Chain A
């Protein structure tokens, strides 16, 4: 994998459903993986930063895992609510560069 890739591109779920998305990133020279939540016209909100293989982070109903050896991260939302509707972005940093390399995002819509 040369770029950061996210799947699915978009997702519709019913209120109360649990859901998850995938972020794949280059595993060579990997340094950190970032997850953001972004609502259009607002600032992307930082959710998690993870660096170590096997890292798991949790914030309320949202959690994330990291596998640096195979180059993927999962974001889980338990009991989705309409206010969880947003685009979820992942980004990696690698090598000596501090710049974030973003995926194209997963657009989540939670239907009431």
Chain B
């Protein structure tokens, strides 16, 4: 079974540019999460999709971040325009949903974003 995949693995952009990150969850997983780890700090929650619906987006830092999950399969996270403080590793995770709140979340390898 393929795991969670993320693309690209690295992205280096200039301040003010736009970047789109993609996440492909494990097939059949209804729950999809985005997290971010800023240098030296803990991994922090950004948002949670159940199928194509945003269940919780309380962790999104501001309106420069836009996440979509059209069709309830893969998800994209767009940062527009990027700022220096957006640099970090963006993780995606998915879970089946059958276990209620005890679901194991399976993580992708992350996208390392550097904003210059």
Contacts and interface: CB of A to CB of B under 8 A. Distances in A.
B107 A93 contact: no
A99 B109 contact: no
Nearest to A99: B45
A32 B105 contact: no
Given A41-B109, A42-B109, A99-B56, A34 B104 contact: yes
B102 A32 contact: yes
A105 B42 contact: yes
Given A43-B4, A44-B91, A89-B43, A100 B105 contact: yes
A105 B43 CA distance: 9
A45 B102 CA distance: 16
A103 B42 contact: yes
B22 interface: no
A32 B104 CA distance: 10
23 contacts: A32-B101, A34-B104, A41-B9, A41-B109, A42-B109, A43-B3, A46-B104, A46-B105, A96-B101, A97-B56, A98-B31, A98-B48, A98-B56, A98-B101, A99-B45, A100-B33, A100-B35, A100-B105, A101-B45, A102-B35, A102-B43, A102-B44, A104-B42
Interface string B80-116: 0000000000010101000001111111111000000
A49 B96 CA distance: 14
A76 interface: no
Nearest to A44: B107
A81 interface: no
B33 A93 contact: no
Contacts of B43: 89, 91, 100, 102
B28 interface: no
Nearest to B102: A32
Nearest to A104: B42
Interface in A85-112: 89, 91, 93, 96-105
Contact of A99 (B59, B108, B110): B59
Nearest to A41: B109
B91 to A, nearest CB: 7
B45 A49 contact: no
